[in-house]
A and B are shown apart, each in its own frame.
Chain A
Amino acid sequence: MTENPLHKFFQTKSMAIFGASASKDKPGFVIAENFINNFDGKTILVNHKGGEILGQPVYKTLEEVEGPVEAATIIIPAKYVPAAMEDCAKKGVKSVTIISGGFKEIGEEGIKLQQQIDTIAKEHDIRIIGPNCIGLFYPKRGLDMVFLPEEKLKRPTEGGISILSQSGAFGSAFLDIMGSLGKGNYLSKFVSFGNASDINEADILEYFGEDPETKIILIYLEGFKDGRRFIETARKVSLKKPIIAIKANRTEAGARAVASHTASLAANDDVTEALFKEAGIIRAYTWDNLFDCMKAFNSTLLPKGNQVLVITDGGGAGVMASDAIGLLGLELADLSPEIEKKMKEDLPPYFSVANPIDLTGSATAKEYLYALEQTINDPAVDSITFIIIPTPPAINVKELMEGLKPYAKSINKTVTFCAIGGEEALYIREELEQMNFPFYPTPARSVYGIGILTEYADYLRTHGQELPVIRETPK
């Protein structure tokens, strides 16, 4: 089997940065700074002006550099990129990421330039990511080509999620939000591939599929370079790890918008929809969907079936959750009779011990925790959505959160959480994120998380696969 070309990009021991800049507001400075401060390999700064950046020497060409250079990041005006490529070729650089725009996406002149770099790459066995992209980010090694400064784009913490994004802006916004989620297991690897003159979506998906550090794959695509291989690769990868994808550019209006964006052609969306299903790809349609899926897969377990239990203190919230359960083809679980009987004996008679379990406005933290304790091991329940309306006077949310902490270590069932409200709901969210539990702002989204996990678990089961455990226990 030939090695996937992405391997060399992520495991390179040295990185040359063409267009490293001393002006702080230039992307070439941000990237140079990222590498100097964080990269665990050798950083080589290149700029025809020479000089020094952050105390590091700047080479005019790679020829001046002693020892081998394996990879390069290019962020210089498009018309100089072919010369930089020639420089790389001479030095034996094999993995080049071209951040610069001004290629295929701008029309004829750019197409010619892109052809020029492709020709040089082919002649010298150089693999290219980009052009017109924001490149790679791999926090574990401090390999960070994202030219947006840390104070503007907070980098997410390390985890098992890998992202491939055709759009640089979408990708960086996603990273930014992920970064704002606070401590938790988030990012393994990020690739923005822009025009994909060489390495395309299918190559990257294959790499993420093989990569042991990647547990969840998130994808943003507008078009395909190699749709058939993408589907065939996804079919294999989805049996091992979940692939969640946005395929934008769904409508004709969208198709017009893309002509001037990453210059790709729209495919018939009905076919895309069907083939995603065939390949076991979980399709997200909106930004919210993508995040909701990410949280579900990252922070809870895959359910063994479609029986869902709702625990709440709000009748209305329970009804809305039940509606969502019906709409998504899930079922309200019937509690095992002995568990139901015991709960009825133990709880005040005005509580509704059915499904939803309604603890009413007089609920306390103790009763919430009691309901969870009784049902968490009920074999008749495959997943639980825990909906907290924190406003009733008797609930001490702090006590409730403390009581949930042991579950963060021991949980063996799918659980999603929802808190509706203001400040206390925000507090609950933060606490739950610390416990690596999936938090949702509405009952419907909390159930959607369960729905998407149930669907994927069902796909795995019907394809003869075991259910992987992705969630990491918080420290």
Chain B
Amino acid sequence: MVDTNKIPEPFATAYNEGRYFLLEHEALKVFESIGVIFPPNKLVKNVDEAVTFAKKIGYPVVIKAMSPKILHKSDYKAVIIGIDSDEALKNQFNDMESRLKKHDLVGILVEKQVKKGTEILIGMNIDPTFGPVVAFGIGGILVEAIGDVSFRVCPTTKERALRLIGEIKTQKLLNGFRGLPPVDRDALAEMIVQVSQLAIDLDKYIKEIDLNPVIANEDGVYGVDARIILKELK
């Protein structure tokens, strides 16, 4: 058995629980520690805490169920978006809790819902030939349909990241499509560099990273959904 005392949090907790992925609220902490910006968010244990936090950050909000049993949240209806009042939040919170508590729910993440924007993917995986590579492309539900993604070797630099952004085919979507503002390429490039560096700094633990979507809107660039898959410990 590997000595998990020497492993930093939140990885140690995951390994101790026999998990090979981080819960989203854990992943958020990792990303926030390297400077990736997420909308205001908090892991809450009950509905009162949820309402208090939502009032503080303002509606609309999103709630997400955090459970070690749930990797793909959409399979469990574990994300509810567009919640715009105390009442709606109470209803949705209670409903989610009763539906999913059997899956070892550790809490529910309340997050400010960001304004509409361009959905981007930033990710990392370990290529069998080239080692860790950072990916950038069009994100959201279109990822697989469009398949417009390109790569750089990790770690990368800002210049290379800017080139990477300029390399994907659907530049139109980045330049402000259908009333959306053009994406902030500079901020995206910084996020790409941060993710590529994270993959190197924590290469003992991290196998894959998914920031999908990252939303680029009039206010800036935000990670919205985050996933970190872990390596098996040797």
Contact = CB atoms under 8 A, between A and B. Distances in A.
Given A265-B129, A267-B127, A278 B153 contact: yes
Interface stretch (A204-212, A223-231, A309-317, A412-420): A223-231
Interface string A266-283: 011011101101100000
Given A274-B152, A278-B152, A267 B160 contact: no
A223 B153 CA distance: 18
7 contacts: A227-B131, A228-B130, A267-B127, A267-B130, A274-B150, A274-B167, A275-B152
A268 B130 CA distance: 10
Contacts of B188: none
A223 B130 CA distance: 11
B163 A271 contact: no
Contacts of B164: 274, 278
Interface of B: 127-131, 133, 149-153, 160, 163-164, 167
A231 B130 CA distance: 8
Contacts of A228: 129-131, 153
Interface string A393-404: 000000000000
Contacts of A265: 128-129
Task: Determine the main DSSP class of A at the interface with B.
Answer: helix
A267 B128 contact: yes
B127 A268 contact: yes
A275 B135 CA distance: 11
Nearest to A279: B153
Given A228-B153, A278-B153, A271 B160 contact: no
A277 B131 contact: no
Given A277-B167, A278-B160, A227 B149 contact: no
Which 3 A/B pairs are nearest by Cβ-Cβ distance?
A267-B129, A227-B129, A274-B151
A271 B127 contact: yes
Contacts of A232: 153
Contacts of A272: 129-130
B30 to A, nearest CB: 24
A228 B203 CA distance: 16
Contacts of B152: 274-275, 278
Contacts of A271: 127, 129-130, 133, 151
**Most chain A CB inside 10 Å of its own CB: which residue of B129, B149, B152, B164:** B129
A343 B153 CA distance: 52
